[in-house]
Amino acid sequence: MSCSILLSSSPPSRSSDAGRRPVPARAYVGLGANLGDREATLGQAIELLAERPGIEVVAVSSFRETDPVGYLDQPRFLNAAVALDTSLAPQALLGTLLEIERELGRVREGPRYGPRTVDLDLLLMDGLVLDEPGLELPHPRVHERAFALEPLAELDPELVVPGRGTVRQLLLRLQSSP
């Protein structure tokens, strides 16, 4: 499946409200789904992101079929990534992602890494390194997951995962390991 979109936009408005950053940040979000109409669900997730205050969707990778990781007895996933410009602080952006997941029917039951209607993961944000309750940046497993790195490489192969290297380097390491 190929669905590549590049949107040009102006940066989000600056605000001093709680949960907002004074200067727009570039964030990368991984999207995945393996239940229901996966393509429609990912499209709805992107639309809902674009509608939220303080978020501008600036690029969307193509959608790709991937095998499940961790819990293998489930349907294949459809994965993608989006680049966002946002005035939201990291915790506020994560809250927005979780809210959109709930709106699209995500229920956090069953096995870890199990089937899901939608999964929105905050992967990277402006080179930040954070370790806060409920939020780690960069995403703690982004460097070992091709299903996250491939769409990121499509958006920006020279994007740096802090402490790990560029997306291109990480993907090459994964592809060359047994």
163, two tokens: 């402490």
Peptide bond into 75 cis (omega under 30): no
- DSSP SS3 for 64: strand
Q: Tell me the catalytic residues.
A: 106, 116, 119, 121
The residue type of 153 is: A
Calculate the CA dihedral of residues 81, 139, 98, 11 and round it to 10 degrees. -60
164, two tokens: 């790990």
Q: Is the dihedral of CA 72, 74, 78, 82 positive or negative?
A: negative
The residue type of 90 is: P
Q: What totals of helices (H) and strands (E) does the chain contain, helices first?
A: 4, 10
Scored b (16 or more CB within 10 A) or e, 112-135 reads: eeebbbbbbbbbbbeeeeeeeeeb
